[in-house]
């Protein structure tokens, strides 16, 4: 079935382009995360979808119908705001029942439905509280219940976890994902937190500078980043500049075997995830001498910060993995498996993946 | 604002402006503009127009386009035979009293307001109720209160005499100094009429305003700035001089100017406390428009001159501030 | 240093209170003249002011009418201007707000003289409705400021939230904007009320001696010397001011209205 889709949607404020022409579709019932650093245009995109901002160009389609000119109050997409935007002069129940009451539903019926929704978000019995009496996590649940009360076709969340502390955030991500899957509602979440996106999303849209860098499921975004921006923004990666030669890449004086096919002599950037590099005795290609500069022990993870022949790099081991036990100053060799090395063109314009 | 995250310059706009929610939105601004122009602007224009008018016999006047009133304001009615600077002198006293009283009010209100902003919010609210109540007190009540306090037969002079303070002052010889300042008659201290009483009362009139005007700026002072200076070894006074005062220079100047302009129009306090030869333009305006003289055009001229003088001071202050900003 | 500060604040409070206390004390005099401390204290003057002396009761009634009507009128005029300023930020709304605050910013005697001429031409001189309009215009700046502060305190994302839940602009105005600005509107009303009650110079020029408010009546009586009944008027006015401002402090955020920083408590 058709979900929500954008065709050539763009937005400029005066001379500043916030969102470049964008084609994007949000499959029905799935959760899409708009992920990117602050200022990348993701919130503007969300606000255009909500109807709070008019696109400069392009059309927005919902189930095949053009809704570009529909104002926000006609679209009635439920939205959870970064600040939650709960009405301080109403009680919790009145907040949740707001869309129902102004939509003409009777007081009693609206109350009943609001109570049911509060149960759903585990806030049964909080209906008479004032907003000021709630904790951050409770406020967020009220905001979610309020946005869902009108049974929206599309559910929008703008940085929904940013006001919560780290621990609560992880719990809420799982809870929100479970709720979304149960309701089967088309959902768009704006976030700058890759863990949040990875936790919740069926599909991640990585954005930077008003344009889309990559659209893919979480695992693909992580393991097959489309370009250096995505590789850098999602997870950690060691980057090295090199030149393509026959069968591989030369970084400084070191030849590394890689799998990508580029024309010889072209400048490239290679990336390798810290957990894909290894310090072991297995033979093979791509062994680089290195010295341990710093050991960062995080409990479940251990990071070795190395100074290698091709530059500084980080190698990471999870607890339970068989790895060497090294300390600062030790000499070692790092193996970079050819299949783990990603090769990107260097100084090339950012490509738009699809 | 959620949009601020992505585009700081973005103005909140709404999609779908197609529906015009209030049809009255077109009518209301028109009506308001008319009202404001008629009531806020027209009276001033009228004063300006009448200031070029001419007094005829009795209390009446006619429209005209004569500069006689302005000429009279600067050199007197008998010019060129004789030059009187009476009206300029009245303007001078308007400035004299207003400058001293506004400075006195701001300088004493500043430390008070600083202390006030450091109190608990609820305590601040109590003080503000007190300050606002005194602010709302009518000029006539305040003058009445100070009049009772300063009159020769009651209040402070009586207190001085009864407690023997007068006798003591005479003994140590300071009484003569007070007499030289015009604050004593041969028998006792006297405050009516005196510049002291005038300035005191005027200052008292605007003092609550000074607090109210300084309050926002002072309560927004970032305490961590002063704390940072303290950690770098600056003493209390150095902090005040190098951090606090420079950061409130603008509100300080603005407050002083506003109070000054307000005080230019003081009427009741001057009539009661100032010596007749030191009466101000405001008193003259009154006697021309409503009082004994009944020369409305000349009263209007004086009002215009007062307004011009006030705006000159305001723009001068503005200019000085711009220069100071530029010098940085 | 702390002690020094408290001493200074105490001294200020004393000087501020001094003339007020004197006036209030003088109200208790039983004779016709003002003494402080009062001679033979009595409450008879209160009866004279509120009940038996027509000069004062009429003046009090006039004051009440002028103040309440002027406050209502000023709030009614200030609302659309403040709302335009907030919602559009257009140049015309800025100009209107600036011009509307002008009378409060110039020496009041100049505006008083101007209004005196104005009403003489339009036939309102000496009419009580002209006095009401005059005060509303003079004090328009106050509700303009308080209502603007109230509107600015509304988080714009609340309006966005209302829109995404199906609220049209009118509905959002009724359910979000209005409830949140009520305390600020009331504060603006009370500021005008109290200041109009105590205003003297403008009402003096526009009343043209054909009616008297309490402040005018006191000024008229000044020539005949003070009487304790005048002091009763002062007490009444003071009581009204304290009551009103306490109410504003109790039900509204007075420090914020006065421009204090929101974030610090």
| Alpha-carbon distances, residue C72 vs A249, B52, C193, C206 (angstroms) | 81, 37, 9, 19
Cβ-defined contact of C160 to A87 (cutoff 8 Å): no
Tell me the domain boundaries of chain A. Answer: 1-77+152-234, 86-148, 236-345
Which residues of chain A does C161 touch, with a Cβ-Cβ cutoff of 8 Å? 79, 81, 85-87, 146
Question: Does C31 fall in a domain?
Answer: no
**C153: closest CA of chain B, how far (Å):** 12
Compare C127 and B179 and report the one with higher pLDDT: C127
Distance between start and end Cα atoms, chain A = 20
The CATH homologous superfamily to which domain A236-345 belongs is Nucleic acid-binding proteins (2.40.50.140)
CB pair distance less than 8 Å for B18 and A158: no
What pLDDT score does A105 carry?
A: 87
Q: How far apart are CA C115 and CA C137, in angstroms?
A: 10
Q: Do C155 and A72 touch (CB under 8 A)?
A: no
- Going by the DSSP 8-state scheme, the letter that residue B65 receives in this structure is -
Over 80: is that where the pLDDT of C70 sits? yes
Residues 19-38 of A with CB under 8 A from B: 38
Asked if A48 contacts A54 with a C-beta cutoff of 8 angstroms, the reply is: yes
Query: What are chain A's partners, defined as 3 or more CB pairs within 8 angstroms?
Result: B, C
pLDDT band at C29 (very low <50, low <70, confident <90, very high): low
Mean per-residue pLDDT over chain C, rounded: 84
Is residue A173 within a helix (H) or strand (E), and if so which, with residue range?
Answer: helix A166-183
Q: What is the pLDDT of residues C242-260, one digit of tens each?
A: 888 888 887 777 777 777 7
How many distinct structural domains can be found in chain C? 1
Which residue out of B12, B34, B40 would a mutagenesis test of the C interface target, given it has the greatest number of C Cβ atoms within 10 Å? B40
Q: How far apart are CA B97 and CA B188, in angstroms?
A: 25
* H helices present in C128-213, as ranges: 128-138, 141-152, 156-164, 169-172, 178-198, 201-207
| Predicted local distance difference test score (pLDDT) of residue B4 | 37
What contacts B142, CB < 8 A, 6 or more positions away?
A: B201, B204, B205, B269, C19
- Compute the distance between CA of residue A341 and CA of residue A273 in angstroms, rounded to an integer: 8
Q: What is the pLDDT of residue C223?
A: 66
Structural domain boundaries enclosing C206: 55-223+231-257
What's residue A348's pLDDT? 47
**pLDDT of A39:** 85
A246 pLDDT higher than 90: no
The CA R_g of chain C, rounded to the nearest whole Å, is: 22
Q: How far apart are CA A57 and CA A54, in angstroms?
A: 9
pLDDT of residue C52: 79
Report the DSSP beta bridge partners of residue A257: A248
> Which pairs count as long-range contacts for C248-254, CB under 8 Å and 24+ apart, including other chains?
C248/C186, C248/C187, C248/C190, C249/B125, C249/B126, C249/B128, C249/B129, C251/C183, C251/C186, C252/C183, C252/C184, C252/C186, C252/C187, C253/C183, C254/B124, C254/B125, C254/B128, C254/B129
Q: Report the alpha-carbon distance of residue B54 to residue B89 in Å, rounded.
A: 23
C-beta of residue A5 within 8 angstroms of C-beta of residue A61: yes
The mean pLDDT of A124-132, rounded to a whole number, is 88
Q: Which of A73, A78, A83 sits opposite C155 (nearest CB)?
A: A83
Closest CA to A271 of A248, A247, A240: A240
Find the closest chain C residue to A86 by CA distance. C158
Alpha helices in C35-152 (DSSP H): 44-47, 54-87, 91-105, 108-122, 128-138, 141-152
Domain membership of residue C109 (yes or no) is yes
Q: Is the peptide bond before B80 cis (omega within 30 degrees of 0)?
A: yes
Whether residue A90 contacts residue A131, with contact meaning beta carbons closer than 8 Å, is answered with yes
* Homologous superfamily of the A1-77+152-234 domain (CATH): P-loop containing nucleotide triphosphate hydrolases (3.40.50.300)
Contact list, A47 vs chain B (CB under 8 Å) = 2-3
B10 and A51 within 8 Å at the Cβ level: the answer is: no
Chains that touch B (3 or more CB pairs under 8 A): A, C
Mean pLDDT by 10 residues, chain B (328 residues): 36 41 69 88 90 80 82 78 83 92 93 88 87 84 84 75 78 78 76 86 91 84 76 77 81 86 87 87 86 81 90 84 71
pLDDT exceeds cutoff 80 at C265: no
Q: What is the pLDDT of residue B6?
A: 39
CA dist., res. A237 & res. A272, Å (int): 5
Is A81 close to C162, i.e. CB distance below 8 A?
no
Positive or negative: CA dihedral B156, B161, B165, B167: positive
Q: Does residue B2 sit at the A interface (CB-CB below 8 Å)?
A: yes
Task: Give me the mean pLDDT over the A41-68 stretch.
Answer: 91
Query: Which CATH number does B69-151+192-327 carry?
Result: 1.10.3720.10
The candidate with the shortest Cα–Cα distance to A78, out of C163, B221, C66, is: C163
Omega of the bond leading into C37 within 30 degrees of 0 (cis) = yes
Average pLDDT over residues A251-271: 86
Give the pLDDT mean for A310-316. Answer: 92
CATH code assigned at C209: 1.10.3720.10
Question: What is the number of residues in chain A?
Answer: 354
ipTM (interface predicted TM): 0.80
Whether pLDDT at C56 is above 70: yes
Could you tell me which of B193, B189, B191 has the C-alpha nearest to residue B149? B191
Does pLDDT of C55 surpass 60? yes
CB contact under 8 A, A87 and C176: yes
Q: Which residues of C touch A67 (CB under 8 A)?
A: none
Q: Is the CB of C155 less than 8 angstroms away from the CB of A147?
A: no
Residues A79 and A50 sit within 8 Å (Cβ to Cβ): yes
Tokens of A205: 């849209």
Query: Of B91 and C232, which is predicted with more confidence?
Result: B91
Chain A residue numbers touching C162 (CB-CB < 8 A)? 73, 98
Q: How many residues does chain C have?
A: 265
**Candidate from A40, A53, A81 with C-beta closest to B13:** A53
The arithmetic mean of pLDDT across residues A109-127, rounded, is 90
Instruction: Report the C-alpha gap between A233 and B12 in whole angstroms.
Output: 29
Residues of A with CB below 8 A from B17's CB?
A: 54, 71
pLDDT of res. C31: 59
Is the separation of the CB atoms in B271 and B283 below 8 Å?
A: yes
**pLDDT of C107 above 70:** yes
| pTM above threshold 0.90 | no
Residues of chain A with C-beta less than 8 angstroms from the C-beta of C167: 73, 98-99, 102
The lowest-confidence range among B142-156, B305-319, C54-68, C167-181 is B142-156
Domain boundaries defined on chain B: 69-151+192-327
| Cis peptide preceding B193, ω within 30 of 0 | yes
Other C-beta atoms lying within 10 Å of the C-beta of residue A280: 14
Question: In whole angstroms, what is the distance from residue A166 CA to residue A144 CA?
Answer: 19
Q: Give the H or E element holding residue B55.
A: strand B54-55
Contact A20, A211 (CB under 8 A): yes
* E strand or H helix that includes residue B100: helix B86-117
Q: Could you tell me the two tokens for A226?
A: 């489309």
**Average pLDDT, stretch A119-125?**
88
Band of residue C182 on the pLDDT scale cut at 50, 70, 90: confident
Q: Are A207 and A235 within 8 A, CB to CB?
A: no
Q: Which residues pair with A158 in a beta bridge?
A: A190
Q: Find chain C residues with C-beta within 8 A of A52's C-beta.
A: 160, 163-164
Cβ <8 Å between B2 and A47: yes
**For an interface test with B, which of A14, A20, A43, A70 has the most B Cβ atoms less than 10 Å from its Cβ?**
A43
- Does any CB of chain B come closer than 8 Å to the CB of residue C161? no
Verify whether the Cβ–Cβ distance C167 to A87 is below 8 Å. no
């Amino acid at each position: 079935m058709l979900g929500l889709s954008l065709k050539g949607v763009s937005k400029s404020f005066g001379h500043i382009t916030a969102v470049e022409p964008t084609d994007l579709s949000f499959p029905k019932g799935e959760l899409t995360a708009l992920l990117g650093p602050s200022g990348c245009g993701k919130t503007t995109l969300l606000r255009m979808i909500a109807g709070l901002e008019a696109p400069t160009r392009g059309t927005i389609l919902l189930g095949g119908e053009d809704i570009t000119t529909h104002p926000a109050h006609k679209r009635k997409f439920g939205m959870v705001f970064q600040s939650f935007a709960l009405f301080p002069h109403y009680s919790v129940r009145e907040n949740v029942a707001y869309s129902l009451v102004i939509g003409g539903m009777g007081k009693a019926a609206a109350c009943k439905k609001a109570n049911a929704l509060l149960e759903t978000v585990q806030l049964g019995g909080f209906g008479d509280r004032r907003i000021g009496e709630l904790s951050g996590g409770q406020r967020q649940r009220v905001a979610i219940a309020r946005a869902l009360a009108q049974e929206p076709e599309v559910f929008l969340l703008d940085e929904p976890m940013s006001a919560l502390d780290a621990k609560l955030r992880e719990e809420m991500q799982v809870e929100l994902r479970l709720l979304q899957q149960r309701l089967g509602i088309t959902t768009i979440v704006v976030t700058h937190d890759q863990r949040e996106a990875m936790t919740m999303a069926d599909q991640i849209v990585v954005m930077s500078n008003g344009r889309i860098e990559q659209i893919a499921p979480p695992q693909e975004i992580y393991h097959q980043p489309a370009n250096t921006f995505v590789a850098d923004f999602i997870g950690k990666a060691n980057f090295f500049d090199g030149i393509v030669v026959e069968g591989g890449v030369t970084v400084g004086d070191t030849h590394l075997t890689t799998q990508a096919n580029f024309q010889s002599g072209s400048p490239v950037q290679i990336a390798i995830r810290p957990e894909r590099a290894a310090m072991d005795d297995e033979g093979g290609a791509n062994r680089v001498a290195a010295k341990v500069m710093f050991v960062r022990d995080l409990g479940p993870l251990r990071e070795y910060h190395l100074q290698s022949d091709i530059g500084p790099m980080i190698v990471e081991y999870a607890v339970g993995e068989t790895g060497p036990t090294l300390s600062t100053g030790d000499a070692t060799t790092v193996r970079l498996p050819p299949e783990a090395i990603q090769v990107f063109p260097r100084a090339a314009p950012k490509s738009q993946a699809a | 604002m959620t949009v601020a995250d992505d585009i700081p310059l973005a103005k909140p706009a709404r999609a779908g402006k197609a529906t015009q929610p209030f049809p009255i939105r077109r009518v209301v601004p028109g009506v308001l503009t008319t009202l404001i122009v008629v009531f806020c602007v027209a009276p001033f224009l009228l004063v300006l127009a009448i200031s070029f008018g001419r007094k005829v016999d009795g209390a009446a006047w006619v429209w005209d386009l004569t500069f006689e009133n302005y000429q009279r304001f600067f050199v007197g009615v008998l010019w060129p035979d004789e030059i009187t600077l009476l009206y300029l002198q009245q303007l001078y006293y308007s400035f004299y009293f207003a400058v001293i009283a506004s400075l006195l009010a701001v300088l004493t209100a500043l430390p008070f307001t600083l202390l006030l902003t450091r109190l608990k919010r609820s305590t601040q609210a109590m003080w503000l109720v007190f300050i606002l109540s005194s602010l709302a007190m009518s000029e006539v009540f305040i003058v009445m209160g100070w009049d009772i306090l300063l009159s020769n037969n009651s209040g402070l002079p009586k207190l001085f005499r009864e407690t023997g303070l007068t006798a003591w002052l005479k003994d140590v010889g300071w009484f003569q100094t007070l007499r030289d300042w015009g604050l004593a008659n041969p028998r006792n201290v006297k405050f009516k009429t005196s510049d002291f009483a005038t300035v005191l009362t005027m200052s008292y009139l605007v003092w609550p305003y000074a607090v109210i005007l300084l309050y926002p700026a002072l309560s927004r002072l970032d305490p961590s700035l002063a704390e940072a200076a303290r950690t770098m070894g600056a003493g209390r006074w150095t902090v005040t001089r190098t951090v606090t005062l420079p950061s409130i220079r603008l509100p300080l100047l603005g407050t002083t100017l506003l109070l000054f302009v307000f005080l230019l129009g003081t009427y009741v306090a001057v009539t009661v406390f100032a010596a007749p030869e030191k009466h101000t333009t405001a008193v003259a305006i009154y006697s021309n428009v409503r009082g004994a003289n009944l020369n409305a055009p000349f009263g209007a001229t004086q009002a215009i001159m007062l307004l011009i003088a006030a705006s000159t001071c305001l723009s001068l202050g503005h200019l000085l501030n711009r220069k100071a900003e530029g010098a940085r | 240093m702390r002690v020094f500060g408290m001493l200074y604040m105490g001294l200020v409070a004393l000087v501020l209170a001094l003339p007020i206390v004197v006036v209030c004390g003088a109200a208790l005099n039983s004779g016709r003249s003002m003494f402080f401390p009062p001679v033979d204290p009595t409450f008879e003057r209160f009866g004279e002011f509120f009940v038996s002396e027509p000069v004062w009761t009429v003046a009090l009634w006039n004051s009440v009418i002028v103040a309440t009507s002027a406050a209502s009128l000023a709030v009614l005029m200030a609302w659309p201007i403040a709302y335009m300023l907030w919602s559009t930020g257009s140049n015309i709304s800025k100009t209107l707000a600036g011009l509307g605050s002008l009378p409060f910013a110039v020496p009041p005697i100049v505006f008083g003289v101007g209004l005196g001429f104005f009403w003489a031409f339009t036939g309102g001189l000496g009419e009580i409705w002209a006095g009401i309009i005059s005060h509303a215009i003079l004090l328009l700046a106050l509700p303009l400021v308080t209502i603007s502060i109230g509107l600015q305190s509304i988080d714009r994302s609340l309006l966005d939230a209302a829109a995404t839940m199906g609220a049209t602009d009118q509905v959002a105005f009724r359910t979000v904007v209005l409830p949140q600005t009520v305390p600020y509107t009331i504060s603006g009303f009370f500021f005008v009320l109290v200041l109009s009650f105590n205003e003297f110079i403008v009402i003096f020029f526009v009343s043209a001696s054909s009616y008297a408010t309490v402040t005018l009546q006191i000024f008229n009586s000044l020539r005949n010397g003070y009487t304790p009944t005048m002091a009763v008027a002062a007490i009444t006015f003071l009581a009204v001011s304290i009551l009103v401002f306490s109410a504003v402090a109790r039900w509204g955020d007075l420090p914020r209205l006065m421009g204090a920083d929101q974030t610090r408590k």
